[in-house]
Amino acid sequence: MKLSLMVILAFALCLPVTGFAEEELPLYKTTIKNHIFEPAIIKVKADQKFRLEVKNEDAGSEEFESSTLSIEKIMGPKKTLKLILGPLKKGSYPFMGEFHQSTAKGEVIAE
């Protein structure tokens, strides 16, 4: 019983530290509107974790997908997708809106 209580207490004490660390990560944002990402190019620091928020301002759903970033998430209309990514090696990481592939294109560039 005492061991279980100690484990729960130790876990509870670690939670705020984890949440705080995520909030300290650099934040980058992109918005999809009329099936186009703005900005379409997101430059991040290589070898560093970061947060990415993708806001869908369209009236329909969109699937945010990137095979190089291992992401495949559906966003409802007027919803925001919040991701923690990285660290990434230097390079280009394309992404797209799968439901509108001809126009919804972008890339994360790690420098």
pLDDT tens-digit series, residues 92-110: 999 999 999 999 999 999 9
- Which among 36, 41, 68, 69 has a CA at the least distance from the CA of 55? 36
pLDDT tens-digit series, residues 17-45: 445 467 799 999 999 999 999 999 999 99
Ordered domains of the chain (ranges, CATH): 26-110 (2.60.40.420)
- Which among 63, 60, 64, 65 has a CA at the least distance from the CA of 77? 60
- Which among 92, 61, 87 has a CA at the least distance from the CA of 74? 61
Write the Ramachandran bin of 61: left for phi over 0, alpha for psi from -120 to 50, otherwise beta: beta
pLDDT at 17: 46
